[in-house]
Structure formats: C-alpha cells, structure tokens
Amino acid sequence: MERHRIDLPLLIVTLVLVGIGSIMVYSASYALAEERFHGDSGFFIKRHLGRVAIGLAILAIFTFIDYRKLRTWAIPIIGLGLFLLVLVFVPGLGLSIRGATRTLKLGILNFQPAEFMKIGLILFLAHYLDRRQQIIRQFVPGLLPALALIGVVFLLIAEQPDFGTAIALSASAGMLLFVGKAKLKHLLSIAAVGIPVVAFKLITSDHSRKRLITYIDRLFGDPDRLSNIRQDSDYQVYQSLISLGNGGFFGTGLGEGRQKYHFLPDPHTDFIFAIVGEEFGFIGGIVLIGLFAVFVWRGIAIARQAPDGFGFFLASGLSLLIGVHVMINLGVATGLLPTTGIPLPFISYGGTWTLFCLMAVGILLNISKNASRWQRLRYD
C-alpha cells in the first residue's frame, strides 16, 4: 500500500475554523464575562483556548495512531458509552442544568456522555458495517441489530432530555447505514415508525414541548406577537434573527455587534453564528459555510480513498456527523428549526464536543495518511 502525507486541506481548514472560533468566542463573550466574573472579560476565552489546546494535542495523537487499531475498541467503547449514559440518571452523579440532566459529575470533572457516544456510535457502526456487508441488506440478521442499538442510544439521550443531540446522532447514524448499502425501504419503514415515537417523546417532555410549541407558533402564529416575546422560550431565536439582520451584507465589524450586550443570551455558545453574521455580515456567513463545505468534502474524499471498508465507513460517518451538526445549528440560528442546543463545531464555546471534534479530525487525517492515493473503493 502506498502511504502519503496527511490531507493538508482538511488540516488547514480545521485550523482556520478553530482560529475563527476562538476570535468569535472572545468577541461574543467578553461583555458577558465582564459582567458575570467581576470584570474578567477574558474568562470564557481563556477556558476555551485551554480546551482547544488539549483538543489539538488529541488531534496530533490520533493522527499518528493507526485508525485500524480503533476497531478492537469499538465494542468496549460502545459498551462504556451506554454505561455512562445510564450513570447520568444516578442521583448525585448526574448534574441538572436548566432542566436537563446531560452532564456527569465525576469529582472535579464535568463530562457529557452523549458527546462521547457520538464518536463511539460512529466507530461501532463502521466496524459493524464492514463486518456485515454481505447481509446488511437483509433486515433481521443485518440491519435490525444496528437499528436496535441506535434506538437505545436515542432513548437514553432523549430522556435527559437532549432531543437535539439524540436526533442529530440518529440522523447521522441513519445516513451512515444508507451509505453502507442498507435498503432504503427498510430505513424509510423504520423512520415511519420512529417519527411518531419521537413526536410522543417531544410532547410528553415539558422541556421539549415548550420549544416545539414556540417553534410552531413562530411559523404560524400572529406576527404582532413578535414585539412582546421577552419571556418566550423562543426568545433566543428572535434575537438571533435580529443579529443577522443587523449585519446586512458586510457586517458591523469585529467586536462591533450589539446583540451580545444583554440581548442574545449566551451568544458565545449555540447561537454564535448570529454574532458571526452580525459582525461579518452575509459575506462572512457564506465564507464560514463554505469552510464547513470544504471540511465535509475533504472528509468524503478521504473516505473514498480509504484502504479498507472500516476506514471508508469511519471517515464517512465522522464527516456526516459534523456536517449534520453544522446544518442543524445553522437551521436553528436562522429560525428554520426549533432550538436544539446543538453547538457549531469548532466555532462555539464548549468543552467535550470541541475535544471530540478535534479527535475526529485526527482520525480522518490518519485515514488519509494510510490511504492509497489512487484507490477508489466501490461497494456494489
């Protein structure tokens, strides 16, 4: 097998995204940090840069770990992920924040098992699809075990409740099954059964029902209500749209946005794209979307050049996972989707997800490093 250098375009676009994210986290958070932390305007950016530094170290490590060795860890990792998801519900271990119990408190470490499961599920499905290629088009022996696992993961994450992550991960996994040549009619049949289950979970959860109702109201409600929504749970979306509108075509300039001053809540997290749009305008937003498009394109290119089926499915799954997160986050920020709590990869302030995104890049780079330059796998 011919070995060659890592995929430089993917590495470069990742570093550019991380750089933009760091700049925007500071721009979006300094006013909030100054108010909350006794004048320390750099509170959030210092924490963010620390996590980015750890993430880049993880990226470097996984770039030099042969991705094929990860196969042996696929089953233990998925088992550990399920165990951690269950631990969240143990009193004293699960940390409840804003009505959702998503964080596991282990001493001084706060950890979100759902973020660990994102990589764990993709890793396991890559292993599973590679081993079951001959029977994946058969429903019971091939597809059903994978669907059952996805269903269990969905229910555990949705119960926290974290429907945004549950839906994003399930959608990514379903796309990967389709890439793995599962029959479309089987996937659509499961979707027809699963959608009512998801709808039932949404309407029976107070946390998610409020978000769904305000989303429907925003689409079909009285336009005059928009002037009186400060107490509405959809308030962030309206402020996000105002931010994007303020930016116009070229933006107000870096640091000159107004919505981060006590209008858009927590502007450095899930709605950071609104600050990008306000300060860099439509042009800046399009450039950022273009960078994400390049990232996904390079990820798919790496998958096509992978030297084996496991590498193909792993690269495809990781690329789809990050791509789906980008689409959902942008959909929420622009008002097309209900609020989900999904961060923008590489850009939003965050901990666990930032680390796992950079780990995913390291894995992709290692697959590219081991790939044959001219090889194109076909799964007929």
pLDDT digits (tens, 9 = 90+) for 61-100: 999 999 999 999 999 999 999 999 999 988 888 877 766 7
- Which residue segment(s) compose the domain that 282 sits in? 8-370
Average pLDDT in the chain: 89
Give the range among 173-182, 198-207, 240-249, 330-339 with minimum mean pLDDT.
Answer: 198-207
Displacement of CA 19 from its chain's centroid (Å): 18
* pLDDT tens per residue across span 276-291: 999 999 999 999 999 9
pLDDT above 70: residue 16 = yes
Across the range 17-33, mean pLDDT stands at 95
**Confidence (pLDDT) at 135:** 94
Q: Are 69 and 78 in contact (CB under 8 A)?
A: no
Domain-embedded: residue 230: yes
pLDDT above 50: residue 108 = yes
Across the range 172-200, mean pLDDT stands at 92
**Confidence (pLDDT) at 291:** 98
**Confidence (pLDDT) at 380:** 39
Domain-embedded: residue 257: yes
Across the range 191-205, mean pLDDT stands at 82
Across the range 140-159, mean pLDDT stands at 94
pLDDT above 70: residue 266 = yes
> 229: closest CA among 244, 239, 243?
239
Query: Quick one: tokens of 96?
Result: 């409840």
- 3-state SS of the chain: helix, strand, coil percent to 5? 70, 5, 30
Domain-embedded: residue 377: no
Across the range 352-371, mean pLDDT stands at 94
Domain-embedded: residue 1: no
The percent of residues above 70 in pLDDT, for the chain, comes to: 92
Residue showing tokens 């609104």: 274
* Spatial separation of the C-alpha atoms in residues 101 and 30, rounded to whole Å: 28
Domain-embedded: residue 41: yes
Domain-embedded: residue 194: yes
Domain-embedded: residue 375: no
Count of residues making up the chain: 380
Domain-embedded: residue 380: no
Across the range 115-142, mean pLDDT stands at 95
pLDDT above 90: residue 350 = no
Q: Are 371 and 305 in contact (CB under 8 A)?
A: yes
Domain count, the chain: 1
